[in-house]
A and B are shown apart, each in its own frame.
Chain A
Amino acid sequence: MPKSLFVDPAATLAAGKIAFADIPVNAYKKSVRDELKEKNYTKGDLVRIYRDITILREFESMLSQIKTQGVYNGIETTYPGPAHLSLGQEAAAVGEAYLLGTDDYIFGSHRSHSEILAKSLSAIEKLSDGELMKIMEEFLGGKILRAVEKVSRPSSVKELAVEFIIYGALAEIFARENGFHMGMGGSMHAFFLPFGVYPNNAIVGGSACIATGAALYKKCNKKKGIVVCNMGDGSLGCGPVWEAMNFAAMEQFKKLWEDGKNGGMPVIFNFFNNSYGMGGQTRGETMAYDMLVRIGAGISPTLLHAERVNGFNPLAVVDAYRRKKALAENGEGPVLLDVLTYRFSGHSTSDQNAYRSKEEIEAWRELDPIVTYRKALVEAKAASDSDFEGILAETAERMTKICKWASDAEISPYADFKKDSHIIERMMFSNERAEKLDDRQPEVITKKEDCAAYAKIKEKIRTVTTDGKPTPKLRLYNLRDAISETIIDKYYEDPTLISYGEDVRDWGGAFAIYRGMADSIPYSRLFNSPISEAAIVGSAVGYGLCGGRAVIELMYADFIGRAGDEIFNQLSKWQSMSAGILKMPVVLRVSVGSKYGAQHSQDWVALCAHIPGLKVCFPATPWEAKGLMKAALNGTDPVVFFESQRIYDVGEQFREGGVPAEDYEIEIGDTNVVRTGSDLTILTIGATLYRAADAAKLLDERYGVSAEIINLHSLVPLDYTKIIESVKKTGKVVLASDACARGSFLNDVARNITELCFDYLDAPPAVVGAQNWITPPFEFDEYFFPQASWIIDAVNEKIMPLKGHVPTANYTPVEQLRKAKLGV
């Protein structure tokens, strides 16, 4: 809602109608002769297209035979992983890749073997021998190259590169150490960055938001090339795909972004339309669009330059890409392509094809490009039949050879977990430190000192008392300031840093983290996103894995559900699924609500902490917030950064001297001893810290119990050293947070304490969580969220009866059992 855009009631309410331009459907009409005549190709180019198709076809046939018969050309082998084959779709993949260079990125789906190989073969053709050797030498330290060189006698560097790429892909599918990702990605996660082959994705439509983020990276950082997002027609049933297309087509790119950055997103949403979403027929059964290409009209006035193309004719696809690529490069994107093709094999090798007739498959087989395209080339005298027979023989021979290498445990060993049980452990986090991800000058509108937000924060008082009197609220440096200050600092340090989310620019974010930054930070680095949580997180994943740093905001933790796949499957997994090749410098800020009822007040740290691959923080004091945000922004790992709305305004109450003005980092994983004591340890997460502090005070005053409080500002990773030290000292521990008690992360901590400190415990650790209910309206907060009195009640009931204490909350075993039985 920028003020520069006037929502004119007269224009808004004026009568009229929308007229749509025509959307081309299979408009390509040229013959091979026409193309030769126009000198779009040499004969050699046309033959090479055929060669590439045969390589893809042979690759998929090989996997089909391995999966169904356990043997390929006499080589007995198999593997347990998936084989979502693209038999029949090869010509479309080769046509797409033909014009793309290594600066152009493709993202894929679960059915992307052909796309990976086609894009790689295209890159091999375009790169010089020197460039190819350099790439192969540098990739994984030359490990794959060494394996291939040992057994191969290639006639040329290009041939070596072809063998290299097929071998690396197959070894990855076979889960061998020599795979592109040391076998940790597998069939649905094989890719090769140096050739511009970016991740494919086992989640249907999973690449849409990520590819959009990659395009955002190119756009914001002025990188060359476009991004192609390959998906199937079935993915249009997925919300995040629509979110991605809308995000990519946002009008602000053209209307509001500053000069030099304005213009459409350089992305092509390429749907390989084989008419089936697994077994469901998209056109006529599961979708409403009739023709997929129609949806372009639903996204933007450009209709996304949508076009339907015959993917059985590689030249038709090349033709489309020649035009669409130019559009994307010239700031006219995004583009939508509906590339018609057909899958001869099942969805996977276990698919019995119960949903389609033999006649249908046969009818499409008659149009199989491997037959029809060859025929067209022979007719156009581009090559002779014997040339093609030679190509087929050469392809089969090469594939047989590579299959032998990839299935041979000597040449292609599996990762040895017995020898090194930490293989995957090392891939889970990159744990690197990178203060900036590019060396260029950060693009800003004003100097940092002139940034309104920054100036205001600098004037604030960083201690809760001034001359013995409480610092006035409006002058107090609070938790919000700590986060803002650190982000501003990073804006002026790392040119790749961008921030976005709902209402972050003019509004300053629902909780004012960005207030006062809009006049200093340009649109391209701080912008409002649509209300599309999946696209917000998914695009940040793409932005991060391409090499940029993103800080994104989800207004409420409750909205994590809307970005479930993007957080739990994408943000968390790409570092390890790529065997550490990709980095994920993304900070996802989510706030835990207050006063807004059941769908706006949930503490969901446990969900994030449960998923391997995410770092999880929840600072509860300004000192923690600043140090942790700094660490998150200096790192290269995905961090889910929880903030509690209840305490944005608190000053630093626990640390002598308040919050330092200078830079400092708190190691993610450390814990914060905010109060020392000798009789009882209270562990807290989030805003409950302040209620625990009240409880500690009461315990001291009324019962003479000296409580130590340790705030767990980091959940993953978590260093238990100080916790164990404290529990060994006190022997008694109560854990409290605002999360519902069932499945709370505190239970995990309590279990570890029990195991690690059992002999020192004077009572089992007591967990105090919120009720296992909906969060009721604010008026009833005291019945739902842990209160200071609950903590004391739990101590009294479970740890040590307190003389004269009259409990208000019921922590008896009978009550515990009753609640568990009822599931509340």
Chain B
Amino acid sequence: MVNMAAGVLMPKAGITVEECMITRWEKKIGDRVNIGDILFTYETDKASFECESTAEGELLEIFFNEGDDVPVLVNVCAVGEKGEDVSSLRPGAAAPAPKEAPEKTADAVPTADVPLNEQHAKNDGELKISPRARNLAEKSGVDAYRASPTGPYGRIVERDIVTLIDSGTGSGIGGRVLPGGIPAASSGTASAPVDGGEYEDVAFTKIRQVIAKSMTNSLATIPQLTHHHSFDATNILEFRRSIKASAEKLGLPNITLNDIILYAVSRTLIKFPNFNAHVTDGDKLRRFRHVHLGVAMDTPRGLMVPTIFNADQKSLTEISAEAKALAKQAQAGSVSPDVLQGGTFTVSNLGSLGVEMFTPVINAPQTAILGVCNLVTRFRMTDGEAKPYQAMGLSVTYDHRVIDGAPEARFAMELISYLENFTAMLVE
């Protein structure tokens, strides 16, 4: 019997993960590898990982290049002794060996100029649109999501796309024309520099693609608007100072202002079920009994939003510890894909980066998002005298299909009241 080399599979990095992109090969053909050696790094749409070798020997053949999307549980490479047969390990003919057809692999990564609506059509079955209308939208480069359906049973039909085209708006967010919308012009008539040295083309990473899609989807489908609030941060600043002082003595965790806000939000949300909810099927609301708090985090790969599940049942120290752990994983790119979903409300804190006011984008299908801004010194007239205090801005974006302006104001008032009286509330 001929000795067979062993294949190394693309791991399944989470229950919902179907394919991963190879980001970097750490070994090259001919290298010796032991079991446990890092062969390559890869990322899902939400996190990145390292793949350890499951076999020992020489790296005989690599079946996929960096940048390739590889279905999970498919052989990525073959490890064995020189001369061993690897033919049976090669994935089906559809996956060419890297050296033979390198140009083909470029197709595997969708590029940024794929029209948005094509992605919707592929990934989002919820859009009710006739085949003809979809074709016209694609051909014309308009975003079918922006069409007002007038067909039977809320279906977008041809005339709706025609109306959209006639309205002169482009396919981009807010009507901007996307590259897909002007296919001929972008490559043919534009006076863009011909010399490749003038610019650099960078394909979206997997994570970037997902961010792009979810942002576009949110802004294209949710009528959302933002209220800006401000509250007196004196109480939470004092609380934090006191904790910080004793933390060092008592070995308590370092509680940040953000932890405090997360805690207050988790307690407030439970009283406002419409804010702790998902919109499903476009016309139904799923209100959750517990708060699963998404925490937006800036990472080297881009925006990530890991979830603190059942935050309403966790203590301040538990929330603080969990937020720190998640942040660490997110920075390292090792956060589990399963934690990157399931949030019922999101908190995005740009305060530490000096942002004074912003319009956070709803993380669909959630109904609202809280943006936390920086501290500013404000003055309050007390007894005819202007007294300074530290104020913090809160920007709440909400889905107007679900939430009206006044309810948002009530939610904000409740949250502000909690934060301004934080010490007292903790006792409660």
Binding site for B on A (CB under 8 A): 731, 758-763, 797-801
Contact = CB atoms under 8 A, between A and B. Distances in A.
A731 B152 contact: no
Given A731-B158, A763-B157, 18 more contacts: A731-B132, A758-B131, A759-B131, A759-B132, A759-B135, A760-B131, A760-B135, A761-B132, A762-B132, A762-B133, A762-B151, A762-B157, A763-B130, A800-B150, A800-B152, A800-B157, A801-B151, A801-B152
Interface in B135-151: 135, 150-151
B155 A763 contact: yes
11 contacts: A758-B131, A761-B131, A761-B132, A762-B130, A762-B131, A762-B151, A762-B157, A762-B158, A763-B151, A763-B155, A800-B159
Given A759-B135, A763-B130, A801 B155 contact: no
Contacts of B150: 800-801
Nearest to B131: A759
B388 to A, nearest CB: 62
A800 B156 CA distance: 10
B151 A797 contact: no
A798 B132 contact: no
A703 B209 CA distance: 44
B153 to A, nearest CB: 8
A799 B132 contact: no
B142 to A, nearest CB: 16
Contacts of A763: 130, 151-152, 155, 157
Contacts of B158: 731, 762
A760 B135 CA distance: 8
Interface string B110-140: 0000000000000000000011110100000
A731 B131 CA distance: 9
Interface in B288-346: none
A504 B152 CA distance: 51
Nearest to A813: B153
Nearest to B134: A759
Contacts of A797: 152
CB-based closest 8 A-B pairs: A762-B132, A731-B132, A762-B130, A762-B158, A759-B131, A762-B157, A760-B132, A761-B131
Contacts of A761: 130-132
Given A731-B158, A762-B157, A762-B158, A798 B152 contact: yes
Contacts of B151: 762-763, 800-801
Interface string B153-173: 001011100000000000000
A172 B133 CA distance: 56
B288 to A, nearest CB: 33
A768 to B, nearest CB: 15
B149 to A, nearest CB: 10
A799 to B, nearest CB: 7
A8 B108 CA distance: 95
Contacts of B132: 731, 759-762
Contacts of A801: 150-152
A759 B135 CA distance: 7
Contacts of B133: 762
A329 B132 CA distance: 70
A200 to B, nearest CB: 53
A761 B159 CA distance: 12
A801 B131 CA distance: 17
Contacts of A798: 152
A762 B135 CA distance: 10
A670 B372 CA distance: 71
Contacts of A762: 130-133, 151, 157-158
Contacts of B155: 763
A760 B131 CA distance: 6
A799 B152 contact: yes
Contacts of A760: 131-132, 135
A760 B155 CA distance: 15
A763 B155 CA distance: 9
A816 to B, nearest CB: 12
Nearest to A754: B131
B168 to A, nearest CB: 22
A797 B152 CA distance: 6
A800 B157 CA distance: 8
A759, A762, A797, A800, most chain B CB atoms within 10 A: A762
Nearest to B158: A762
A758 B150 CA distance: 20
Nearest to B155: A763
B253 to A, nearest CB: 59
Nearest to B135: A759
B140 to A, nearest CB: 15
Nearest to A728: B132
Contacts of B130: 731, 761-763
A557 B151 CA distance: 39
Interface in B246-298: none
A215 B64 CA distance: 80
A739 to B, nearest CB: 24
Contacts of A759: 131-132, 135
Nearest to B133: A762
Nearest to A798: B152
Contacts of B152: 763, 797-801
A800 B135 CA distance: 17
A431 to B, nearest CB: 36
A760 B132 CA distance: 5
A759 B157 CA distance: 12
B386 to A, nearest CB: 61
A800 B133 CA distance: 12
Contacts of B159: 800
Contacts of A799: 152
Nearest to A795: B152
A799 B151 CA distance: 7
A729 to B, nearest CB: 11
A652 B411 CA distance: 74
A293 to B, nearest CB: 70
A762 B157 CA distance: 6
A758 B131 CA distance: 7
Contacts of B135: 759-760
A758, A759, A763, A801, most chain B CB atoms within 10 A: A763
B89 to A, nearest CB: 36
A803 to B, nearest CB: 9
B178 to A, nearest CB: 23
A441 B215 CA distance: 86
Nearest to B130: A762
B131, B135, B151, B155, most chain A CB atoms within 10 A: B131
Contacts of A758: 131
A159 to B, nearest CB: 62
A762 B158 CA distance: 6
B130, B131, B152, most chain A CB atoms within 10 A: B152
A797 B151 CA distance: 9
Interface in B376-399: none
A56 B159 CA distance: 75
A759 B121 CA distance: 13
B132, B135, B158, most chain A CB atoms within 10 A: B132
Nearest to A764: B130
A97 B78 CA distance: 82
A762 B159 CA distance: 9
Contacts of B131: 758-762
Nearest to A803: B150
A731 B134 CA distance: 12
B145 to A, nearest CB: 18
B242 to A, nearest CB: 65
A798 B155 CA distance: 10
A801 B156 CA distance: 12
A762 B133 CA distance: 6
B129 to A, nearest CB: 10
Contacts of A800: 150-152, 157, 159
A799 B158 CA distance: 11
Nearest to A759: B131
Interface in B199-236: none
Contacts of A731: 130, 132, 158
